[in-house]
Structure formats: structure tokens, C-alpha cells
Amino acid sequence: MNIVKILSSSWYGAESSSLLKIYRALIRSKLDYGSAIYGSASKSTLRPLDTIHNQGLRLSVGAFRTSPILSLYILCNEPSLELRRERLALNLFFKIKSDDSHPSHYNVINPKYGTLFSIRPSFTPTFGFRIGTILRSINTVDFPVLNKSDEFPPWKDTRLNFIDIFEKWHESTTHNLVYQSIFYDHRQQFSGYEPVFTDGSKADNLVGTAVVIRNSIVSGGLHELCSVFTSEIYAIYLALVEIADRNYKKTILYSDSKSAIEALRSVSPLSHPIVLKCVEFYLYLTGKGLNIMFCWIPGHSGIIGNEMADKAARRPATVVDNFVPLCDALQAVKNQLTKKWQRTWDEQNQNKLHDLQPMVKPSKNCALNRKQSVVLNRLRIGHTRLTHEFLLLSEPPPTCTRCQCILSVKHILVQCPNFDIHRRNRFGSNICLKDLLDISADSSSKQSASTPRASSAITNLSLPSSPSVAALSAIASASPDLTDFKLVTNKKKLKKDSPIKTNNSITKAEKISKFYTTSSREVTNPVTSKDNISSHQSALKPFDTTKPTSVDIELLPMAVLPPLEKKILQSRESDADAEMSSSFSSEEDTLEYNMSEDLEDSPAVISPPPSSKSEKTKNKNKYIPTNYKNR
């Protein structure tokens, strides 16, 4: 966990995807080890493990401490440890069930002491009984699993004969008539070989397989959990059985499944069990003198035998086998547990992330740096320092001074009328929170040069350390645009009464004071001084400020404040020093205004009187002209 902490930060560090991979490799792997055994412990015993899991996910995405745990699971596409343990237990169960030689096969399939566990629920049940409980929770009935096939010895040749007549032709650029012409020429060349067509299909939980040989059709159905690949490869196995029954000496098997043909080309001990059975049966038939070749043909290209097999596979007459291969069983377990997770997520109607992402699925990857990614994740979850820090400080929730409602991410970005001007300028009208925060990777690469992108505005918003709503509303109503705001970071902690802190406060007041004015004069002839020389630097080199997005009016001189803010400041004068100390102690992100932007629409402001605390400050102020205007 310390490695994840070092590599993660709110403003620097690795990407969220990289941190999640590190967490899964170093931490989750240790939590998974032996989970089938210790998973029978009580919930109170297992609860401390959830804390480790949640902390790893929160650090990976940079979420705020108050973020809901279910939102972290959805954002990281990582289930809870309970679902994780259930999946690993089911995987182990079906692996044991598919291997007759496993030492625990009989005890797991036929658990004992059922009467005892039904009478004494306090007793910890065995692994086999716990599996039955898990299967009932995901609405799944136990099903037979295809037994594991024996491996081929290394000296045995498992190569099959293939014909590639359509290798140079691409389906997207080749007409069906061309395919038909090529196939009929091929049949004239191999007229002595009996053609056999195979196909498989899966639709609406109906899995079918079919074989067409000499205008006769052999079809059947499989278990609903079987995949399309299983139906395709099982059709080839049925064709080999028909060839053996009819004793055809020369045969060509035609299949429109490239994946099935490629699986027969590259056989390994980890191959599909039916693929291994096909190879084993093929070697048996060729050993008896039969000549069998395999050929891929394009599907739905008008080849008569293939069309007949396709129609028969869609409507199987009877059920041939009710088995499920191990790979399909593991995929079915994953799908059923995902549905269980989805049902839990559907119940979270009040969750802020549920409105943006109602489905359990992987999040889209965006080309953002760590800082922007953290900001976007916090906005999507709906928990930021501005809106939810009161939970950590045991304070009342912040409210909007204009709307008199509790401050939230949705209210600031979509609903609050204070930001209507900026909202229309950057995003247009009739926008919703999903349009702003549901950003795909494709949209970032196809950004229009004339239209500003939503992600650049959202990810450049910082998360303040103190919710000064009054100043935030004042800035929103007076500032011309947010386009030239940049993210900077305060990396130094200043002492309470140092001269540098005083100068920074004055510089900050000069930056903000242009929003608190009633004059309509323009800013002309700006003059630079030593105290605020940093405000005239290039926009490529932002200077450090100590407060984030919102402006704390307690740090502003009285001369630059409107009457209402003066009254508020006077009523809270006793707490000014404490607020200034706390504001400089936080190292959060801020928004910096570009001083080179056009100030024609911004009225001038009466500059604050120079400080007379020290002789050095007086000497500096001697060189400031009387017509000095704040910027």
C-alpha cells in the first residue's frame, strides 16, 4: 500500500489505470490467496479486509475521503471483496468438478453433514454447501461440466490438413458472386471429396449446432451457457462423427468460423476441450486410412450448403448434449456475478455517480494527466473538498448565497444562475451533468478548433480547501471568462506573520479587486512594482497563490471590498488571523487568471493604500505612480 501511496497524489503521480494494475498485482493478489478457505469466516472478521480494498481503490483514482464506496467500485470497475470471493470460490468449484482426478472431487460434489448444517445454522458449512448458497444467490442452477481432456504426448503429431482458397480475399471488399465462383471452381478441382458443411448459432439463450452432408441435416441443441465458439467447434466434432459412421474415404469439412479453424491449427494443452476431442478423433480416423481436410468459407455469401447449415443451427430439433465446457462455465460465473452487482447498483438511486453511469461497465479512458484525472473523478463521484469537507470538520454544509440551497457539483456546473454566462459561452444551452463529465477518449482526439471542449474546462477546476461561497458567487457574476485560468500549486508553507505572506495577500487582493468596483473606467498604463512583479510575468510561468478557486474576503483590504463585504468582514474581524493561518497551511490547487487577457470589459478599481508597516515598504511605494491601477 505504501507503493501506491508514493505513486499517487492529487496533483502528480501515475495514471489511474497503472495504479489499479499495481494494486491488483501487489495487494489484491494477497487478498485473493486462500479466499476459498477463509471466505467462510464471519462478516465481522472479514470487514477489516474491505478497508484495505477501499483504500487501494481510493488512492488509485484520487477520490475524496468522503466518497461512497459503491461509487469507487463502479469508477474502478472493481467489485467488492465479497463478490470477488464468491467468484473465486465458484471458479475453484467448477475446476474441481471438471477434473475427476482431483483429490477433493467427490467431497466437493457430494458434501456431507447436510442435516447438521440445516439444524445448526451457527455452524460454519463446508465448501460444497457454501457453493450451493452462492449459486442460489445468483439465480443459477448447478450444471454438468465437460471433463478435462488428456494432453497429447509431445512426440505425437497433431497437425491437420487445411485448404486456404479464400486466403487472399477480404470479406469487406469481395462480392458474394466472386466467392461463389471461387468455391465452385474449387469444387470442380476436388470433386472426388465429399463436402460437409458445419455451422453453430446462439440467440435468445438458444444454442444450436448443425451439419449438412449429402443434402441431409443433423442438428441439435446445447446448454444455454455455451458460447458461439463452442457451438461452432462442436458442429465440427459432430461432422467427424458422421464421417466415421458413413465411412467416407475423402472428405472436406467447410466451416464459416475462422476462430474454430484457427483453434484447430494451433493446438496446445490449454486449448478448448472440444478442440482436443476433435484433434483426437481426427487422428483416430486418419489412422484408419480416411483423408479429411478442413476449409474456411465466408458465411452468408450464397453458398448453398453453408446457408442450409446456418438455418438448421438457428432452429435445433433436439438437445444433443447438456454439458458446459469449463471456459464457458467460468464466463457464465462472471456474467451472473456482474448481474448481481448491477442489481445492487440499481438500488442506489440517490447516488450521484449513478446518474452519470447507471450500468456496471469499464470507464472510458481519457487522455488526461494525473491532476486532471483526479479532478474529473471527484466531479463524477460528486464529492469534492468544496462540497463535502464539512463532513470531516463537523460543520454545517455550505450553501449557495444566491439560491439558498446546499452546494453540490451539479448545482455549480449546471443549475446555479451565477455561472450561466460562462456555461453558455463554453458549452451552449441545454446542457446536463452527463454531457460535461461523461468524456470519451475519441472526443478528446476529435476536438474542434473553434468550439471549446468540456473536458478542458471541467478538469481545470480546482478543489478548494475552504468553501467561501460568497466570494465565489461574486467572482462568477463579474469575471469576463474562465478560458485563461490555469492550474497552479502552492508548494510552500509560509509562516503566519512573515512579510512574504503579507505581500502575497496584497498581491492576491489586487488580482481580485477588479471584480469589486462600481467604476466604468478602463485599466490603462499599468505600472509594475516589486511587490507585485509576479503578476506581470508570462502566462507560461504561473506564480504561487495560497487560496484555490473561491476567494476568501477576509484576506482582502477594506478599500477593495463593496459595502456588503465590509460589513461581513467587520463582523468576523476577530477570526481573521485564524482564517489567514489556515488558508496558508493548505497546499491545494488554485485557478490563476491570465493577466494578458483583454480587460476592456472590466471596470477599474481604486487601488488599496500602501502599507506603512516598514520603511522598506514605503520606499517601494515611492516609485508607484498615482494613476496606478490594480490588475
Residue 209: helix, strand or coil by DSSP? strand
Cα distances (angstroms) measured from residue 326 to each of 15, 94, 142, 147, 268: 35, 7, 13, 8, 16
The pLDDT of residue 75 is above 60: yes
Q: Could you tell me the maximum CA-CA distance found in the chain, to the nearest angstrom?
A: 111
**Stretch 260-268: mean pLDDT:** 92
Residue 295: helix, strand or coil by DSSP? strand
Question: Do residues 362 and 258 touch, judged by C-beta distance below 8 A?
Answer: no
pLDDT digits (tens, 9 = 90+) for 82-141: 999 999 999 999 999 998 888 988 888 888 877 787 788 788 888 988 998 899 998 888
pLDDT for 609 equals 47
Pick the range with the lowest mean pLDDT from 33-42, 365-374, 598-607.
598-607
The pLDDT of residue 607 is above 60: no
pLDDT digits (tens, 9 = 90+) for 190-209: 989 999 999 999 987 889 99
CA 382 to chain CA centroid, Å, is 16
Judging by beta carbons within 10 Å of its beta carbon (0-12, 13-18, 19+), is residue 300 exposed, middle or buried?
Answer: exposed
Structural domains in the chain, sorted by start? 1-138 (no CATH), 162-323 (3.30.420.10), 384-437 (no CATH)
pTM exceeds cut of 0.75: no
Confidence of residue 251 (pLDDT cuts 50, 70, 90): very high
CB atoms within 10 A of CB 395: 10
pLDDT for 19 equals 92
Pick the range with the lowest mean pLDDT from 149-163, 264-278, 475-489.
475-489
CA 423 to chain CA centroid, Å, is 27
pLDDT for 605 equals 41
Axis crossing angle, helix 81-97 with helix 43-61, rounded to the nearest 10: 110
pLDDT for 167 equals 80
Q: What is the distance between the alpha carbons of residues 99 and 240, in angstroms, rounded to a whole number?
A: 25
CA 83 to chain CA centroid, Å, is 18
Query: What percentage of the chain carries pLDDT values higher than 70?
Result: 69
Q: What is the distance between the alpha carbons of residues 510 and 515, in angstroms, rounded to a whole number?
A: 10
Grid cell, residue 33, equals 490467496
pLDDT for 438 equals 74
CA 291 to chain CA centroid, Å, is 51
Pick the range with the lowest mean pLDDT from 24-28, 238-242, 355-359, 531-535.
531-535
Q: What is the distance between the alpha carbons of residues 437 and 196, in angstroms, rounded to a whole number?
A: 54
Confidence of residue 168 (pLDDT cuts 50, 70, 90): confident
Confidence of residue 615 (pLDDT cuts 50, 70, 90): very low
Question: Do residues 71 and 352 touch, judged by C-beta distance below 8 A?
Answer: yes
Question: Do residues 392 and 334 touch, judged by C-beta distance below 8 A?
Answer: no
In the chain, the N- to C-terminal Cα span, in Å, equals 46
**Stretch 548-573: mean pLDDT:** 39
**Stretch 326-331: mean pLDDT:** 93
Q: What are the strands, taking DSSP E only, across 233-303?
A: 250-255, 291-296
Which residues are CB-contacts of 622 (< 8 A; sequence separation ≥ 6)? Answer: none
Cα distances (angstroms) measured from residue 541 to each of 112, 180, 368, 505, 597: 73, 68, 21, 19, 15
Confidence of residue 511 (pLDDT cuts 50, 70, 90): very low
Name beta bridge partners: 293.
252
Q: Closest Cα to residue 332, out of 53, 476, 141, 115?
A: 141
pLDDT for 455 equals 42
pLDDT for 439 equals 58
Task: Please provide the average confidence, as pLDDT, over all residues in the chain.
Answer: 74
**Residue 116 belongs to what H/E stretch?**
helix 114-119
The pLDDT of residue 508 is above 80: no
Confidence of residue 215 (pLDDT cuts 50, 70, 90): confident
Confidence of residue 432 (pLDDT cuts 50, 70, 90): confident
Cell numbers 458567487 label which residue?
A: 473
**Residue 502 belongs to what H/E stretch?**
helix 499-512
pLDDT digits (tens, 9 = 90+) for 266-281: 998 889 999 999 999 9
Q: What is the distance between the alpha carbons of residues 343 and 631, in angstroms, rounded to a whole number?
A: 55
The pLDDT of residue 351 is above 50: yes
Compare 216 and 542 and report the one with higher pLDDT.
216
Pick the range with the lowest mean pLDDT from 76-80, 94-98, 586-590.
586-590
pLDDT digits (tens, 9 = 90+) for 398-411: 999 888 899 999 99
The pLDDT of residue 350 is above 50: yes
Beta strand 162-163 with 486-489 is: unpaired
The pLDDT of residue 318 is above 80: no
Residue 626: helix, strand or coil by DSSP? coil
The pLDDT of residue 525 is above 70: no
pLDDT digits (tens, 9 = 90+) for 32-68: 999 999 998 989 999 999 999 999 999 999 999 999 9
Compare 434 and 291 and report the one with higher pLDDT.
291
Cell numbers 447516488 label which residue?
A: 351
Q: Rounded to the nearest 5 degrees, what angle is found at the Cα of 242, between the Cα atoms of 223 and 198? A: 60
Confidence of residue 426 (pLDDT cuts 50, 70, 90): confident
Residue 295 phi/psi, 5-degree rounding, is: -145, 135
Residue 343 phi/psi, 5-degree rounding, is: -65, -40
